[in-house]
Copies of this chain bind each other. A is one copy, B any other.
Amino acid sequence: MSLDGFVAGPSQSVENPLGIGGMRLHEWAFALAIFREAHELDGGEINESTRVVEESLANIGATVMGRNMFGGHPGRWDPTKPWTGWWGINPPFHHPVFVLTHHKREPLKLEGGTTFTFVTNGIEAALEQARRAAGGKDVSLAGGARAAQQYLIAGLVDEMEISLVPRLLGSGERLFDGVGDDLRGLELIRVVAAPQVTHLKFAKAIKGAHQ
């Protein structure tokens, strides 16, 4: 998230899925060895962000994401080609991914253990399917903004990692648009200062802990 609250720039498109300027929110990640490895690239560095990324990847059995994060609106796709989203033929998830959409579609099985399943009956149904697929592990909510807002409003987010980039976007998609003035029990539990980014981890307070 940018310092002014945006998680994607304006004018998202197939050519520019993060929107104008959105790439600057991810530069800290692209510099990391752990990120580059996951995308089959060499090199990169190890720094304070490494353990945050490790932590965010640990014990994940399934992922939920919005339609835009999978690959944008179907109207933008080339209908003559089988659109596999923005993630290539070997996406970095390696587990079941559930995509929130209004458009029915058969599951899409790609290389490396990633299957995209398209869920058309709402966020709770998607979470329930993801929970079952995760087999006791955690479910990751990957984004984008609209999916995050819906799950936050429904009070279904137990943990939230904000990677705050100290730059402005000025326009685009705001993470907390429409969420109101209530984090639904999420409290800041950890801060990690790293190059180009500050990681803020939130978790639901354990009831009774402050008796």
Task: Name A186's closest neighbour in chain B (CB-CB).
Answer: B166
Contact present for A181 and B166 (CB under 8 Å): no
Q: Give the copy number.
A: 2
- CA A188 to CA B193, docked complex, whole Å: 10
Contact present for B193 and A169 (CB under 8 Å): no
Task: Name A172's closest neighbour in chain B (CB-CB).
Answer: B181
Fill in one digit per residue for A18-34: 1 if any B CB lies within 8 Å of its CB, else 0.
00010000000000000
- Residues 181-211 of A contacting B (Cβ, < 8 Å): 181-183, 187-188, 191, 193, 198, 200, 202
With a cutoff of 8 Å between Cβ atoms, the chain B residues found around residue A181 in the complex are 21, 167-171
Q: How far is the CB of A161 from chain B (nearest CB, A)?
A: 12
Q: How far is the CB of A96 from chain B (nearest CB, A)?
A: 31
Task: Name A166's closest neighbour in chain B (CB-CB).
Answer: B188
The verdict on A36 contacting chain B, using a C-beta distance below 8 Å, is: no
Interface majority SS on A: helix, strand, loop or mixed? loop
- Given A174-B4, A191-B193; A183-B167 close (CB under 8 Å): yes
- CA A158 to CA B171, docked complex, whole Å: 24
- Interface residues of A, Cβ cutoff 8 Å to B: 3-5, 21, 162, 164, 166-171, 174-176, 179-183, 187-188, 191, 193, 198, 200, 202
Q: List 30 A-B contacts (CB under 8 A).
A: A3-B162, A3-B176, A3-B183, A4-B5, A4-B174, A4-B176, A4-B179, A5-B174, A21-B181, A164-B164, A166-B183, A166-B187, A166-B200, A166-B202, A167-B181, A167-B183, A168-B176, A168-B180, A168-B181, A168-B182, A170-B176, A170-B179, A170-B180, A170-B181, A171-B181, A191-B193, A191-B198, A193-B193, A198-B198, A198-B200
